[in-house]
A = this chain, B = another copy of it.
Amino acid sequence: MKKILNDPADYVDEMLEGMVAAHPETYAQPVRRVIARAAGAKKGKVGIVTGGGSGHLPIFTGYVGTGLLDACAIGDVFASPSAEQMAEAIRLADGGAGVLRLYGNYGGDVMNFDMAGEMAEMEHDIRTTTVLLTDDVVSAPKEEAEKRRGVAGMVYAFKIAGAAAERGDDLDEVTRIAQKTADACRSIGMALTPCTIPQAGKPTFEIGETEMEMGMGIHGEPGIWRDAIKPADEIAEEMLDRLLADQPLAKGDRISILVNSLGATPAEELYILYRHARKKLDALGVEIVMPLVGRYATSMEMTGATITVIKLDEELESLLKAPADCAFWRV
């Protein structure tokens, strides 16, 4: 296990402690494994909470910050936080204007967040809504799109819904915009090597020295095919083809695109992917707005990349470009 850690059981807590210590102007941890804005909830502002397993920095906790999230409940590596923690996150995010639960569609997370919502409404009388990210086109056919899991599209959802909340939109409006963002996002991933969950001590899956897997999920969920590693341009081509098959784009459409490393894949290689994606989209006459290339949603030291395309209209575009600030991203 080529990881830098102490006791694997302390991985998450020590990581959070270090993160808060490094950025005390941004993050606070008022309750164990719940990260909130250092400045606390903003009175009268709609709160946005998320949650999920650890091991995906900057997702989830990293995106707590101005113009982004208000609080986040975080579990063990790749494991859902408890409903109790999520209820705490909701309470900490509440500024009196209700709270949007905005997170990825994973069974455990959904059940816990549903429970947490019930708890928050019962115990603290906080009105909550839910928007689920279901951007991974590989994880279910289009007819069952609501069963798809959420991956890097979250980054756009946090950014755009966060901007709506920050400018003072009410809960229904923030929820509408978040849902519209979720509906406009499509993602796909590919992986070359697994990562190691600290407490398990061994890789999440096995894969040959010269193999890649197209469509793999960020926890190693199986993809569409596994074969010899293809040239970068072919990889980008297929990924985009699959995204466009699910959400066609036409000349004049405006999109943003996120070329994201799962961890180990370096920025150099993301730019090689972006280069081809850009050419292809240029040829289609599609306009790219604020492309994101980097590590926005990772699986620790996994090698691989994801591509997310979000189709924009004026409303989404202006919210995407609004100022935002966390330790990992500043717009």
A interface residues, Cβ below 8 angstroms from B: 1-7, 11, 14-19, 21-22, 54-55, 57-58, 62, 192-193, 209, 229, 231-233, 235, 263-275, 278, 291, 293-295, 298, 300-301, 303, 305, 327-328, 330
Contact = CB atoms under 8 A, between A and B. Distances in A.
A3 B231 CA distance: 9
Contact of A232 (B1, B4, B268): B4
A37 to B, nearest CB: 18
- In terms of DSSP, what is the predominant structure of the interface of chain A? mixed
Contact of A268 (B11, B192, B275): B11
A21 B266 contact: no
Nearest to A236: B4
A266, A273, A305, A330 — most chain B CB neighbours (10 Å): A266
A230 to B, nearest CB: 9
5 contacts: A14-B271, A22-B293, A266-B298, A293-B327, A294-B328
A57 to B, nearest CB: 4
Contacts of A209: 2
Given A14-B275, A21-B275, A330-B330, A55 B268 contact: yes
A284 B258 CA distance: 43
Contacts of A266: 55, 57, 263, 298, 300-301
B2 A229 contact: yes
A327 B231 CA distance: 26
A21 B264 CA distance: 23
A54 B272 CA distance: 13
Nearest to A301: B264
B298 A5 contact: no
A152 to B, nearest CB: 15
Contacts of A7: 231
Nearest to A299: B266
B271 A4 contact: no
A271 B19 contact: yes
A214 to B, nearest CB: 12
Nearest to A57: B267
Contacts of A15: 268-269, 271-272, 275
Contacts of A55: 266, 268
A62 B6 CA distance: 33
Contacts of A278: 18, 21-22
A193 B195 CA distance: 14
A270 B269 CA distance: 22
A2 B275 contact: no
B264 A231 contact: no
A11 B270 CA distance: 11
Given A55-B268, A269-B300, 4 more contacts: A3-B265, A11-B272, A15-B272, A266-B298
